[in-house]
Structure formats: C-alpha cells, structure tokens
Amino acid sequence: MKLKKRINKHHIPSLFTLLNMFLGFLAIISVAEGNYTRAAYLIVGAAIFDALDGKLARWIQQPSQFGMELDSLADVVSFCLAPALLIWALYARDLHPVLGALIAGAPLYFGALRLARYNVGQHSRPHSSFEGLPSPVNALVIVALVFYYHGQGLAAAKVVLPIIMATSFLMISPIRYPKTPRLTFRAGPGNTLYLVAIIVSLIAIPIFGGRAVLPIVLVYILSGLVRWLTRTDSSAELHSVEEET
C-alpha cells in the first residue's frame, strides 16, 4: 500500500507536465484549424501548468531526472513548436518558404538549444536563476504580440518578426533571469514582490484579456537586461561563487 502511494505521489508532477504538453498539442491543432486566438490562450494555459509542475515536485519532495527530461520535451512542444507554427501562420507564411521557416522557427531552434544547455547545466550544479530567457516567457512574448497585433497583417509582421527574432536569441544569451518565486510571503522582500506581481498578472489577464500579457513579460525581460547591463565585475564574481557553493 505504501509503495502504491509513493508511486502515485511520484507521478503527480509528471501529470502536470503532460497537461502542459497536451495543451501545447491542442494549440498546434488550433493553429492548423485557423483558430489563432484559441491557440494563444492554450499556450498561456500550458505556461501555467509548466510553472506548477516544478513547484509541485519540490513541494512533495519528488524532483527527479525523469521529470526534468519530460519537462524539457513538453516545453519544446508547448513553448517552441506551437509558438513557431503560430508565428508562421500569422506573419511568415507569405514570405519565401525558406526565409519564413528560418524566421518563424526561431523560437523552436533557439528554444531547443536553450533547453539542451539548461539540462546539461543542471547536471553540473544547481542555479538560483536561469541563464537565458526561459522558453515559456519567450512563448508568452509571442502570445502577447499575437493578441496585440492580430488582424493587422503586413504592418504587424514588420514589428512582430524582428521582436521575436530578438527575444528568441535571448534564450541562448548569458543574461540571467530569476526563477519562479517560492510560494510563500516569508522568503524575503524580493520573493514577495515577485510573487505579488505574478498574482496580479494572473488576475489582470481574465479582466483585461490577452493584451495584459505584453507589459508583464516586457517588465520581466527588461529586468534581466538591466541587471546584466548594470552588473559590476565584483558582483558577477560573487554571483559565480554563490552558484558554486
């Protein structure tokens, strides 16, 4: 009986990961059916499950190598392939096939590279932050742009495609971004502020619609860029020492 409970408990985080992948696959189907708004919302839903699976694994003290690898596979589907197809269908399908595939596929190519680098890095030592923009955040950038510019045709493509190329490249950059906060208000002011921002964001999206995603992800991206640009050599060295201890 205890063994059965342990096995069931062990697989709970993986169930959330599979739900992430399932929503990503539904997003791909929605793109194929031409329902781009539904696809965008499904990617947002996948991002929520992605944020929950790791937290749940740590909460029930069941993190595993299997879970990490499954999470990466789910992320490729939901936050790399699905957004790339969405961008191609909306903004790149009228370009030359090769050029369109190169530009629209940027979230897929850079996202796969980032996830591979992340998994290798996790084997060596744990980090308190992500190296490079997380693929779910990049997917949310794409979703936000779709909500903001959907229906504006070629004029939107001239704005959206360069932004997507830039944010996709950030996924393999050395810029560090904070991980999701601990689910407590007793982990310091920084964690509390981050947690409150996420709660406010989750409330704002149903009220203001998909456009509320754009300022949220832009603040996150700019926060990493500002810290990286204003970081001194001494703080960089200290950060490196902290990661190794």
Query: Full-prediction pTM beyond 0.85?
Result: no
pLDDT at 240: 45
Question: pLDDT of 143-163, one tens digit each?
Answer: 999 988 877 777 788 899 999
Report DSSP letters for 101-138, one per residue.
HHHHTHHHHHHHHHHHHHHHHHHH---SEEES--HHHH
Residue range 183-200: mean pLDDT, rounded:
68
Sequence-distant contacts of 25-34: CB under 8 A, at least 24 apart: 25/77, 25/82, 27/78, 27/82, 27/86, 28/77, 28/81, 28/82, 28/85, 31/82, 31/85, 31/86, 31/89, 32/85, 34/89
Q: Are 48 and 23 in contact (CB under 8 A)?
A: no
pLDDT at 189: 63
Could you give the CA distance from residue 228 to residue 115 in angstroms, rounded to a whole number?
21
pLDDT at 1: 47
> Does residue 18 carry a pLDDT above 60?
yes
pLDDT level of residue 133 (50, 70, 90 thresholds): very high
Residue range 104-131: mean pLDDT, rounded:
82
Question: pLDDT of 210-237, one tens digit each?
Answer: 777 788 788 888 878 888 888 765 444 4
pLDDT at 29: 98
CA angle, residues 132, 227, 81, in degrees to nearest 5: 20
Measuring CA to CA, how many Å separate 173 from each of 78, 178, 192, 213, 231? 21, 14, 27, 23, 15
> Does residue 96 carry a pLDDT above 90?
yes
pLDDT at 241: 38
Measuring CA to CA, how many Å separate 64 from each of 11, 13, 69? 10, 10, 9
Look at residue 26 and give its three-state secondary structure: helix
Question: pLDDT of 166-183, one tens digit each?
Answer: 999 999 999 988 776 666
pLDDT at 113: 95
- Going along the chain from its start, the domains and CATH numbers come out as 2-244 (1.20.120)
> Does residue 61 carry a pLDDT above 90?
no
pLDDT at 245: 31
